[in-house]
């Protein structure tokens, strides 16, 4: 016990940056080893709660669909967002604050270490790296075997576009786009917000992003009611998307090429989601292929600008994209951890 306590004291004597990086490393290891929880995942429970609240708000959805006025459904959508997203992060912040104060008052390094470990577990539940890889490879393997029907089946799990008429190239493109965009939404953004605001802020972003995925559609049914959810996710993801874009460049072979960023950020201006466009354009650029083209979403054809640089995306680019997201996430976590240790040594 003495050795364990001594080790914890040594760990906690590092700068806060090293502690944050260490928690991120721990969360990534848990995700790599355990993957997404198969049962009782908090985000699944959150999804059920969203659907129950949606059922209670049928009038708002009906008004959003039928009325020309956008004010009432937007206000109701904003109130629903506040009810669904804010309570858990606020509760987590309060519990963390009280627990840390108590641990310091009794001078228990062991309890402080346990609190940090529990926060790593919370961060792990917001990460989707292993899940993203599994979903993408569920499409990759059937495509590699020429099983178009099965590939279309699994593609429908990963993207919102119509999949019935997709070709092998279309599915490769859709999968890579989803990997590069969700590499931000479900992996790097969680790490980013954990770094600046701990587990409460990481949870807040993940809940907001999940709500946007459920309500942030520009369909007649959701156009006004989901307006606040879509805007909130855009604003929350703005800075973390830039961070993801930079990490995608840093995670490829040196030297760092700033032109990848300037080109990608320019290309993203014409994309339907600038945050997603920045991530996809940067990822495609550093991996030397192009994305974009036409896609059908719920009966409507959307034309996307060309993103990236090089030849058209191919099947082989699916695992390459997964590798890029994984390297970027580990780069961020390890960089903070090692930088914190270095700062402690030097200062």
Q: How confident is the model at residue 35 (pLDDT cuts 50, 70, 90)?
A: confident
Q: Residue range 243-249: average pLDDT?
A: 96
pLDDT of residue 185: 94
Whether residue 324 is predicted with pLDDT greater than 60 in this model: the reply is: yes
Question: pTM above the 0.75 mark?
Answer: yes
What's the full length of the chain, in residues?
347
pLDDT of residue 162: 76
pLDDT of residue 282: 96
pLDDT digits 0-9 by tens, 89-132: 999 999 999 998 999 899 888 998 999 999 999 999 999 999 99
DSSP type of residue 305: E
Q: How confident is the model at residue 244 (pLDDT cuts 50, 70, 90)?
A: very high
pLDDT of residue 7: 44
**Kind and range of the H or E element at 233?**
helix 227-250
Q: Residue range 241-248: average pLDDT?
A: 96
CA distance 86 to 109: 30
DSSP-derived secondary structure for 157-191: HH-SS--TT--HHHHHHHHHHHHHHHHIIIIIHHH
Whether residue 254 is predicted with pLDDT greater than 80 in this model: the reply is: no
Q: Residue range 329-341: average pLDDT?
A: 94
Q: How confident is the model at residue 9 (pLDDT cuts 50, 70, 90)?
A: very low
Q: How confident is the model at residue 195 (pLDDT cuts 50, 70, 90)?
A: very high
Contact partners, residue 241, CB within 8 Å, separation at least 6: 184, 189, 274, 275, 276, 278, 279
Whether residue 163 is predicted with pLDDT greater than 70 in this model: the reply is: yes
Q: Residue range 204-230: average pLDDT?
A: 80
- Residue percentage of the chain with pLDDT more than 90: 56
CA distance 212 to 227: 9
Q: Residue range 174-180: average pLDDT?
A: 95
Provide the 3-class DSSP secondary structure of residue 118: helix
Contact partners, residue 52, CB within 8 Å, separation at least 6: none
Q: Rounded mean pLDDT of the chain?
A: 86
Whether residue 60 is predicted with pLDDT greater than 60 in this model: the reply is: no
pLDDT digits 0-9 by tens, 275-313: 999 999 999 999 999 998 766 665 566 778 899 999 999
The larger pLDDT score, comparing residue 66 to residue 43, is at: 43
**Kind and range of the H or E element at 142?**
helix 129-144
């Amino acid at each position: 016990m003495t050795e364990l306590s001594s080790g914890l004291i040594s760990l906690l004597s590092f700068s806060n940056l090293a502690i944050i990086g260490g928690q991120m490393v721990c969360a990534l290891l848990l995700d790599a080893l355990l993957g997404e929880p198969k049962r009782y995942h908090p985000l699944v429970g959150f999804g059920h709660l969203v659907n129950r609240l949606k059922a209670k708000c049928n009038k708002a959805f009906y008004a959003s669909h039928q009325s020309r006025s956008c004010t009432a459904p937007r206000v109701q959508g904003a109130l629903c967002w506040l009810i669904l997203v804010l309570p858990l992060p606020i509760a987590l912040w309060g519990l963390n604050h009280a627990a840390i104060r108590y641990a310091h008052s009794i001078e228990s390094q062991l309890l402080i270490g346990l609190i940090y470990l529990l926060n790593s577990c919370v961060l792990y539940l917001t990460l989707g790296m292993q899940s993203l890889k599994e979903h993408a490879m569920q499409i990759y393997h059937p495509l590699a075997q020429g099983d178009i029907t099965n590939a279309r089946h699994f593609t429908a799990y990963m993207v919102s576009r119509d999949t019935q008429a997709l070709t092998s190239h279309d599915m490769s493109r859709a999968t890579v786009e989803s990997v590069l965009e969700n590499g931000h939404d479900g992996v790097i953004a969680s790490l980013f917000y954990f770094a600046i605001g701990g587990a409460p802020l990481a949870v807040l972003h993940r809940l907001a992003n999940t709500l946007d995925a459920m309500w942030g559609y520009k369909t007649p049914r959701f156009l006004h009611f989901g307006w606040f959810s879509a805007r909130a996710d855009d604003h929350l993801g703005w800075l973390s998307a830039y961070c993801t874009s930079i990490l995608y460049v840093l995670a490829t072979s040196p030297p760092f090429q700033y032109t990848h960023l300037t080109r990608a950020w320019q290309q993203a201006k014409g994309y339907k989601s600038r945050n997603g466009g920045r991530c996809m354009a940067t990822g495609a650029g550093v991996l030397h292929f192009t994305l974009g083209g036409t896609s059908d979403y719920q009966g409507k054809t959307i034309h996307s600008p060309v993103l990236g640089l090089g030849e058209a995306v191919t099947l082989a680019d699916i695992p390459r994209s997964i590798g890029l997201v994984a390297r970027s996430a580990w780069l961020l976590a390890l960089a903070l951890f090692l930088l914190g240790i270095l700062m402690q040594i030097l200062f």
